[in-house]
Amino acid sequence: LIRQTRAEGVLFISGDVHWGELSRLQAPNCYPLYDLTASGLNQDWDRLEPNGNRLGDACMDFHFGMLEINWGTTPSVELKIHDMTGRARVRRTVRFSELRFSGR
């Protein structure tokens, strides 16, 4: 559907898996698709499911997700998973220009 409509700037936010992670899928003829997954503040888990698209480590402790948008000269969004101490355990900055089809 993203390819058919040529929708740009799409990010996925998902949850209810009891851990936090960031995934990236490079689908054919599309820009990279990112999915930030976080669960409720009181959710942790002892077993991690396989995910070949996961970037870095997952956060298995109590956590929350955050998106921080920078509207400056180079607009971007920082995708983060924080533990309950406030430390960012997962972090990735994605420029809005990355979320476009090539040839524009």
pTM higher than 0.85:
yes
3-class secondary-structure state, position 13: strand
- Position 16 confidence tier, pLDDT thresholds 50, 70, 90: confident
The token duo for 8 is 């740009």
3-class secondary-structure state, position 30: coil
Average pLDDT over residues 9-34: 95
Segments making up each domain of the chain, as ranges? 2-98
- For the chain, what is the mean pLDDT? 93
What does each C-alpha distance from 100 to 11, 28, 104 come to in angstroms?
11, 13, 8
3-class secondary-structure state, position 42: coil
The token duo for 84 is 């309950």
